[in-house]
Amino acid sequence: MSKVTEFYEAFSKDEAMRERADEAIVAFAKGEGYAFTVDELNDFINNKELSEGDLKAVAGGKLARLYP
């Protein structure tokens, strides 16, 4: 099993790990001049409409990414 696979499996099961990742994304974005909260990030992710490319990725069985 690859380290990426191990990480993905751990990440998908560990709520605290996902919360730390959200916090890290928000901190990174703030450093780049984009201020928003973890709640705003999660609202965006949960309410984002899928693009044509997203739909093709889902249909193809690819993993979704936060970034293009």
Cα–Cα–Cα angle for 14, 64, 1, rounded to 5 degrees:
60
Confidence at residue 56, expressed as pLDDT on a 0 to 100 scale: 74
Query: Cα–Cα distance between 43 and 26 in angstroms, integer?
Result: 13
Domains of the chain, residue spans: 3-59
pLDDT tens figures, 11-33: 999 999 999 999 999 999 999 99
Tell me the whole-structure pTM to 2 decimals. Answer: 0.68
Asked if the model's pLDDT at residue 64 lies above 70, the reply is no
Confidence at residue 37, expressed as pLDDT on a 0 to 100 scale: 97
Q: Does 19 or 61 have the greater pLDDT score? A: 19
Confidence at residue 61, expressed as pLDDT on a 0 to 100 scale: 58
